[in-house]
Amino acid sequence: MKDYKKSIQDYINNNKDKTIKLLERLVKEDSISGNESKAQAIVVEKLRELDLDLDIWEPAIEELKDHPYFISARENFNGSPNIVATLKGTSGGKSMILNGHIDVVPEGNIQQWTYPPYGAIVKDNKLYGRGATDMKGGNVALILAIEAIKQSGITLKGDVHFQSVIEEESGGAGTLAAILRGYKADGVIIPEPTNMKFFIKQQGSMWFRLKVKGKVAHGGTRYEGVSAIEKSLLVIQQIQKLEQLRNDRIDDPLYDGVPIPIPINIGTINGGTWPSSVSDLVTLEGRYGVAPNEKMEDAKKEFERWIENLGNLDEWFLDHPVEVEWFGARWVPGSVEADNELVKTLLHNYHHITEQKPIIEAAPWGTDGGLFTQVLDIPMIVFGPGETKVAHYPDEFIDLDQMFLAAEIIACTLIDWCKVQEQHEGEGVYENEKVL
């Protein structure tokens, strides 16, 4: 048996500049939601070079909209193609989906960037730009993994589907579309930025909007009104209690040392129109963390019940209930057992290549991975280059060495998972045919 893994390593080492160029081209495209096509075109060009089977389509909202996990603020996905590229196996091995999203969040306040957000500047072996770590660096690691296998002349038995999807940042419509199109496999790797740690569980989340009512009055006689701002204090305190209760329930040792495994974050508050008027409306928006093994629907109901209970604390809420709306983004939770074959294979290769002890954690954020576990019930693991803490922030960057290392680990995992079609096996068949 040839040392395939050595070939992989050599290929990656010999093709770093070319790979960085690919990442540069991708980061230079501001592929925010609705604007993914140019970045996807670069992906397609690369995948064609590798001679993979390509499936390129714009998801049809009609086919998605009734799915319980569908969420999107868009009316259609015209001009926003999904891509699935398949490296067909010879059969007899396990299949794998390698999933990455092409969409990025907006650059935010340009003044806060030292490097231009779409400049793809390389400095000290880091590439800077929006999406570098979340997650174009991860996508390039996936492409490089497949490229290294293919160009090293390795033939796999199991199929590998590389998915370059849209809409992850807005709730996963791109991955859901790929699932509903029929793509499935024996395992899924998503190289979101875990800083090379292994996230075997992931928090789900959904966004809520609360409308807290008051009664307007002049500030000088504020006792004639009811302040929605004061009532919001009770609402916030109620949510804090719910967060406590929900987190007290979590006994998974994976969460030891995590102060709040599934936080409820109240991210925005807005109310009142005039300093000297009593405000009659406060709007709170936030993110509601969902436990890896929890049903979205159950989590939602618990929250709604808790808000309803405000009436027991303050009669005002009986006649003026707080309105709860679920809006915007939503990510379903996901989990895989630590002794799952997928996890073990990936960890083995990590350890073999890095000679370091792998770190296993629970993800504090959701990915499209939850869709694979909840809709298809297939094992999924999140493992990738780059640090979460720079994602969505100014001067986002990716460590290029991590990207190459991730590509190597993933390529070697594919070799173990999908199995290699050995040359002599092929010859054997040929010999048998000759015999017949």
Binding a copy of itself (rule: CB under 8 A), the pick from 85, 97, 236, 332 is: 236
Range in contact with a copy of itself (rule: CB under 8 A) among 6-14, 148-156, 183-191, 270-278? 270-278
Q: Which residues of 197-234 are buried (b: 16+ CB within 10 A; e: fewer)?
A: bbbbbbbbbbbbebbbbbebbeeeeeeebbbbbbbbeb
Distance, CA of 362 to CA of 390 (rounded, Å): 19
By CB under 8 A, name the one of 70, 113, 208, 317 that touches a copy of itself. Answer: 208
The H or E element that residue 268 is part of is strand 264-271
| Residue 435 CB contacts under 8 Å (≥ 6 apart), including other chains | none
Do residues 12 and 407 make contact, with C-beta atoms less than 8 angstroms apart? yes
Q: How far is the CB of 225 from a copy of itself (least distance, A)?
A: 9
For a copy of itself, the binding residue among 1, 75, 114, 221 (CB under 8 A) is: 221
Q: How far is the CB of 240 from a copy of itself (least distance, A)?
A: 8
Task: Provide the annotated active-site residues.
Answer: 103, 168
- Give every CB contact of residue 44 below 8 A, 6+ residues apart in sequence: 54, 56, 83
Answer for which of 18, 218, 241, 344 binds a copy of itself (CB under 8 A) is 218
CA dist 406 to 27, 193, 271, Å?
Answer: 18, 10, 46
With binding defined as CB under 8 A, does residue 388 bind a copy of itself? yes
H/E stretch holding 432: helix 423-435
Site string for a copy of itself, 98-137 (x = CB under 8 A): ----------------------------------------
3-state secondary structure of 79: coil
Interacting span for a copy of itself (CB under 8 A) from 47-55, 70-78, 295-303, 385-393: 385-393
Min separation Cβ 159 and a copy of itself, Å: 33
Please, which of residues 273-332 interact with a copy of itself by CB under 8 A? 273-279, 282, 285-287, 289, 328-329
Residue positions counted in the chain: 436
> By C-beta, is 22 or 282 nearer to a copy of itself?
282
CA distances from 345 to 189, 340, 374, 409 (A): 12, 9, 22, 10
The burial class, CB within 10 Å (0-12 / 13-18 / 19+), for 235 is: buried
Pairing of strands 121-123, 53-57: unpaired
- Under DSSP, is residue 281 helix (H, G, I), strand (E, B) or coil? strand
User: Which lies closer to a copy of itself via its Cβ, residue 279 or residue 349?
Assistant: 279
- Considering the rule CB under 8 A, would residue 220 count as an interface residue with a copy of itself? yes
**For residues 388 and 402, which CB has a smaller minimum distance to a copy of itself in the complex?**
388
- Contact residue for a copy of itself among 364, 387, 421, 422 (CB under 8 A): 364
222 belongs to the binding site for a copy of itself (CB under 8 A): yes
Buried b / exposed e over 87-126, threshold 16 CB at 10 Å, is bebbeebbbbbbbbbbbbbebeeeeebebebbebbbeeeb
Q: Which stretch binds a copy of itself (CB under 8 A): 124-132, 215-223, 315-323, 426-434?
A: 215-223
Binding mask 16-55 toward a copy of itself (x if CB under 8 A, else -) reads ----------------------------------------
Q: Which of 189, 14, 24 is nearest to 94 (CA)?
A: 189
CA angle 231, 232, 235 (to 5 degrees): 100
Q: Which stretch binds a copy of itself (CB under 8 A): 74-82, 264-272, 307-315, 425-433?
A: 264-272
Give me the residues that bind a copy of itself (CB under 8 A), please.
Answer: 203, 205, 207-209, 218-224, 227, 229-230, 232-233, 236-237, 259-260, 263, 265-279, 282, 285-287, 289, 328-329, 363-366, 388-389, 391-392
